[in-house]
Amino acid sequence: MAEPATVGIVTPTVYVHNCPFTLQCGATFATYELVYETYGRLNEAKSNAVLICHALSGHHHAAGLHAEDDPKPGWWDACIGPNKPIDTNQFFVVSLNNLGGCHGSTGPLSVDPTTNEAYGPSFPNVVVKDWVQSQAHLADHLGIEKFAAIIGGSLGGMQALQWSIDFPDRLHTAVLIASAAKLTAQNIAFNEIARQAITSDPEFHDGHYKRLGVNPDLGLMLARMIGHVTYLSDDGMRSKFGREVKSGDIGTGADVEFQVESYLHHQGRSFSRKFDANTYILMTRALDYYDPARDSDHDLVAALRAVQAKFLVVSFTSDWRFSVERSKEIVDALIAARKNVACAVIESEHGHDSFLLPLPRYNDVLRSFLTRLHSDLDHGADLDHEG
Amino acid sequence: MRADLDVIAGLINPGARVLDLGCGEGELLAHLQETKSVNGYGLDVDENNIRICLDKGVNVIEQDLDDGLENFESHSFDMVVMTETLQSVKAPDRLLLDMLRIGQECVVTFPNFGHWRCRTQLVLGHMPIANHLPHAWYDTPNIHLCTFRDFEKLCTELDLKIIQRRVVNHKHAENPWMLRWPNMFGTFAFYRLGRA
């Protein structure tokens, strides 16, 4: 097998949607923008496109570097590239920053044309269905009628699931990784603690911090620290940090900082510099509210009736934020609805974070599924038959 | 394709719903998906098997049979298949009942512990090793071996209807000896079961 490589230097593009777009909440954008990147080449038949849906704190920069001296590649560089599981020699990969984001797409930091001020906390409520609709606008713009695959981890998996329900004939396959059809009470609780950390920061000012030239750094930092603990597992943290002390003397108790503390401080601080608090609140709410069965009398099987896509559902043993059981619920509902689905449970001690890591078996599973998909597309196989 | 799988494939109608417990490399399901457009799912726990199933485009579900099949609705499949797996599960009796709760019919195949080679070795004081039972006692995955007669007794106790029985050798072929004395000369049995 050829060596995995990088997609190299990539440059984001901005798509401007110039028609009014009404959200589920009733608010309308006269126009909006999505920033996105693409990797690989769209074939002539435009049949090899893969959409990457990002998770809670994600964005469009999934693979490659923005400049030669970039210290870090895109957030899913482990998985996307030539000869990587999502192989850019085979697929044309599209990755965007969702509406409401803070990395270039229209979001709380953008200027509201009706007031000529940043939206801030008045940015309308965006839900997963809106993201899917706006991603469909982007697909139209790129001339992609049907995606070969729509892939997402965590909140991204919810978008892939919603795609299969809202646009059944616009995707061949959906890959849901460490995801859930809806959050549990415990999961919502963690999101609420994170939101409270932000909104109770004195610098939050009811979301108008930008107008005052300040930022709720401490709140964001705390929110991220809580998040990070829940994205890892007890065993994972033990083997990553143990009780190792980074500085100070534990004997005298003077200025002690454990490695784990230092890690959380660093992650929290860098997040507070990069991420907008209003976006964080908006995205956690979208995560909390998501439930595709709500319109089907809470019957997920009924919600999936019209689905045509074939599914791959992957979960990780130590993930307690999006546990194996949540993935199994999706798989069971798909089987009951007579849809094509495969599922793998990957042994990992890295908790929810596993989905971002280059774990050998996880990569093999993705690679096998996508290689088979690519050869089916090549042979023009009828992938759309119902079960 | 393995001869026993060929026989099973012959029992399945086009477009049927098929569940294959311990589906291995997905040979049966890949064949059925291709030739009969069945809506089939295979359960397995072996990483390598799962990868091979994905390569073949088989709907493979990573699930341990010992954890039960409660996630499958009653009467939701036409056929539930389990080939050469019965002898290695924790609770074969419960699993059989579950198979017929889920499926209209089921097919079970397993190796015969009553084969004359096994009997001879036991008489000589050894745990049997044969073509169809190649493992030593200390490393065998087979924890619930039985003879054909034992299996049929269990079916009676569980009130399961035997629709068809086929006894073959380790090459999955039939011969006159095993037709006359199946429990002595048959190596593998194939049972097609239904609800009584």
Q: In Å, how far is B69's CA from the nearest CA of chain A?
A: 11
Query: Looking at residue A385, what is its pLDDT?
Result: 46
pLDDT at B3 over 90: no
- Looking at A263, A285, A307, the residue that finishes a domain is A285
Retrieve residue A257's tokens. Answer: 């900082």
Give the nearest partner residue to B61 out of A342, A369, A385, using CB atoms: A342
- Domain of residue A252 covers 188-285
Give the nearest partner residue to B59 out of A340, A364, A376, using CB atoms: A340
Give yes or no for a contact between A77 and A37, defined as CB atoms under 8 angstroms apart: no
User: How does pLDDT run across A15-42, given as a tens digit for each residue?
Assistant: 999 999 999 999 999 999 999 999 999 9
* pLDDT (mean) for B142-151: 95
Give the nearest partner residue to B57 out of A364, A372, A385, using CB atoms: A372
Q: B62, B64, B80: which to substitute to probe chain A, counting the most A Cβ within 10 Å?
A: B62
Q: Could you tell me the pLDDT band of residue B173, with boundaries at 50, 70 and 90?
A: confident
Q: What residue in B sits closest to A384 (Cα-Cα)?
A: B37
**Binary contact (A361, B47; C-beta < 8 A):** yes
| List of chain B residues whose C-beta atoms are within 8 Å of the C-beta of residue A385 | 37
A384–chain B Cβ distance below 8 A for any pair: no
DSSP three-state, residue B81: strand
Residue ranges in chain A modelled with pLDDT below 70: 1, 381-387
A127 and A260 co-located in one domain? no
User: How does pLDDT run across A340-373, given as a tens digit for each residue?
Assistant: 999 999 999 999 999 999 999 999 999 999 999 9
A196 and A167 co-located in one domain? no
Give yes or no for a contact between A23 and A32, defined as CB atoms under 8 angstroms apart: no
Average pLDDT, chain A: 95
A317–chain B Cβ distance below 8 A for any pair: no
Query: Looking at residue B179, what is its pLDDT?
Result: 87
| List of chain A residues whose C-beta atoms are within 8 Å of the C-beta of residue B39 | 338, 340, 386-387
A170 and A263 co-located in one domain? no
A372 and A333 co-located in one domain? yes
| List of chain A residues whose C-beta atoms are within 8 Å of the C-beta of residue B61 | 331, 335, 341-343
A319 and A266 co-located in one domain? no
A116 and A227 co-located in one domain? no
How far from chain centre, in Å, is Cα A38? 16
Give yes or no for a contact between B20 and B40, defined as CB atoms under 8 angstroms apart: yes
Query: Looking at residue B6, what is its pLDDT?
Result: 87
- Which residues fall within 8 angstroms of residue A321, CB to CB, at 6 or more apart? A187, A190, A230, A231, A351, A352
**Binary contact (A365, B51; C-beta < 8 A):** yes
Contacts 24+ apart (CB under 8 A), B33-36: B33/B57, B33/B58, B35/B9, B36/B9, B36/B12
Please tell me the CATH code under which domain B3-195 is placed: 3.40.50.150
Give the nearest partner residue to B50 out of A331, A344, A372, using CB atoms: A344
Measure the CA–CA gap between A93 and A190, rounded to whole angstroms: 32
Q: In Å, how far is A256's CA from the nearest CA of chain B?
A: 44
| List of chain B residues whose C-beta atoms are within 8 Å of the C-beta of residue A307 | none
From the list B64, B2, B53, the residue with the least C-alpha distance to B29 is B53
Q: What residue in A sits closest to B51 (Cα-Cα)?
A: A365
A251 and A202 co-located in one domain? yes
Measure the CA–CA gap between A44 and A143, rounded to whole angstroms: 11
User: How does pLDDT run across A108-132, given as a tens digit for each residue?
Assistant: 999 999 999 999 999 999 999 999 9
Q: B51, B54, B72, B76: which to substitute to probe chain A, counting the most A Cβ within 10 Å?
A: B54
- Looking at A257, A285, A313, the residue that finishes a domain is A285
**Binary contact (B60, A364; C-beta < 8 A):** no
Q: Is A239 within a domain? A: yes
A64 and A161 co-located in one domain? yes
CATH of the domain at A22: 3.40.50.1820
| Entry pTM | 0.95
Between chain A and chain B, how many beta carbons pairs sit less than 8 Å apart?
49
**Binary contact (B55, A345; C-beta < 8 A):** no
* pLDDT (mean) for B163-172: 88
Residues 274-313 of A with CB under 8 A from B: 312
Measure the CA–CA gap between B58 and B42, rounded to whole angstroms: 8
**Binary contact (A342, B54; C-beta < 8 A):** yes
Active site residues of A: 154, 319, 352
E-strand ranges in A307-372 read 310-316, 341-346
Query: Looking at residue A381, what is its pLDDT?
Result: 56
Q: Could you tell me the pLDDT band of residue B188, with boundaries at 50, 70 and 90?
A: very high
Q: Is A173 within a domain? A: yes
Measure the CA–CA gap between A156 and A174, rounded to whole angstroms: 11
**Binary contact (B61, A345; C-beta < 8 A):** no
Retrieve residue A311's tokens. Answer: 């599914």
Measure the CA–CA gap between B192 and B188, rounded to whole angstroms: 13
Say how many domains are in chain A.
2
CATH of the domain at A221: 1.10.1740.110
- Which residues fall within 8 angstroms of residue A215, CB to CB, at 6 or more apart? A203, A209, A272, A277
Q: In Å, how far is A64's CA from the nearest CA of chain B?
A: 28
pLDDT at B151 over 60: yes
**Binary contact (A335, B51; C-beta < 8 A):** no
- Looking at A270, A285, A300, the residue that finishes a domain is A285
Q: Is A386 within a domain? A: no
Q: Is A6 within a domain? A: no
| List of chain B residues whose C-beta atoms are within 8 Å of the C-beta of residue A365 | 50-51, 54
A46 and A68 co-located in one domain? yes
User: How does pLDDT run across B68-113, given as a tens digit for each residue?
Assistant: 999 999 999 999 999 999 999 999 999 999 999 999 999 999 999 9
Q: What residue in A sits closest to B62 (Cα-Cα)?
A: A344
A28 and A172 co-located in one domain? yes
Measure the CA–CA gap between A343 and A275, rounded to whole angstroms: 33
Q: What residue in A sits closest to B59 (Cα-Cα)?
A: A342
A24 and A136 co-located in one domain? yes
**Binary contact (B73, A331; C-beta < 8 A):** no
Give yes or no for a contact between A376 and A360, defined as CB atoms under 8 angstroms apart: no
A41 and A156 co-located in one domain? yes
